Amino acid sequence: MSKTDIEKEIEAQNDNAYGEPEDEKKGFRINIHVILIAAIVLVLGISVFELVRWNRGERITLDPDEDTSMFDIEVLDELIPMAPDDYAGHDFDDETTVLLLGNGDLSFSRVEDRGLDQMIADAAGVTVYNASFPYPTLATRNLAMIEKNYPDDIYSLTYLTDAICTGDFSEIDRVTEKYHEDGVVTQMGVKTLKTVDYDNLDVIVIMYDASDYFQNRAIENPKDDEERCTIVGSLNYSIRRIKQAYPYVRIIVSSLYYTDGVDAEGNVYDPDKLDSGNGTLSNYFYNELNTCTELSVSFLDNFYGTINQDNYAQYVDLSRETDYIKLTDAGRQVLADRIAYAINKYPQDK
């Protein structure tokens, strides 16, 4: 039986109701599956392109004359500003004055036209007082002062600190007159030490070379953190007392720098590999750094950042003609520039 016209009309309406397009609505249709596939293909294509380009690399041209030494090492400076409470109420004048305490080339070069102290003054634009002495170490040789054994212990940091903080220089005067009556460099150090106006002093720079290692001074005594004959004890003892007496004075510890060693047979050795009985040279350096960190005073890294194992041959006089660690003119200049940088790092302290 054939469908009637009415039945055909009903079927056509039902088809349209269930989404079958009429002839005039038929044409291009957007398919979500096609879009997703196209997006995936596009992402994969971009990824493959970037991977190929990355794998091919980039041509880099190196300048053989460029100084890249700054990228070869990690400098361990810890230069920190003073706390405002330390200098609250203190009246600073317009002149920045710096006291240098140390040994070796800092002391001996003061009599030369271009001594290390003068280079520091010029580089930093400050007034410098050089109260360093030729041969003492950061740590004392003896636990207590034994004059007949080693009178120059009186010029080590802790005894200088006692004189600075009390204003009593009589013992230093007595030892100097008795043992260094003709010692021009030592006499100059004592005179300078007594000349400084500590009420108007701005900065103290403590800078001892590697003599503590070469003279086999002890690094620390775990039972006494202020023992004079250890480098840790010397720093603890001195910095704590200076801070108490002159809280407005900024303290900078300028670390030892690298140089090689020569044994009794004349053989050159690396002190950063040879334990002399208390550790290698870097053990001394890191203990200085850690002590300064605990005391919250500035620390200037010369061991890696100034005169290090890679460049020391041009900065240290290796002729061995002196009985102390002597610097070349270039060595003094590079050290002076670094110390000047540390001195002027926080001018707001004034």
Question: Coil, helix or strand for 204?
Answer: strand
Q: What is the pLDDT of residue 71?
A: 45
* pLDDT of 335 higher than 80: yes
In this structure, are residues 203 and 98 in contact, taking their beta carbons and an 8 Å threshold? yes
Give 176-230 pLDDT, tens digit per residue: 999 999 999 999 999 999 999 999 999 999 999 999 999 999 999 999 999 999 9
- Among the residue ranges 5-14, 19-28, 326-335, the one predicted with the least confidence is 19-28
Give 132-150 pLDDT, tens digit per residue: 999 999 999 999 999 999 9
65 vs 296, higher pLDDT: 296
Bridge partners of 262, per DSSP, are: 268
- Among the residue ranges 112-116, 208-212, 324-328, the one predicted with the least confidence is 112-116
* pLDDT of 32 higher than 80: no
pTM: 0.80
In this structure, are residues 138 and 157 in contact, taking their beta carbons and an 8 Å threshold? yes
pLDDT, the chain, mean: 88
Contacts of 205 (CB under 8 A, 6+ apart): 98, 99, 100, 101, 102, 120, 252, 253, 254, 339, 342, 343
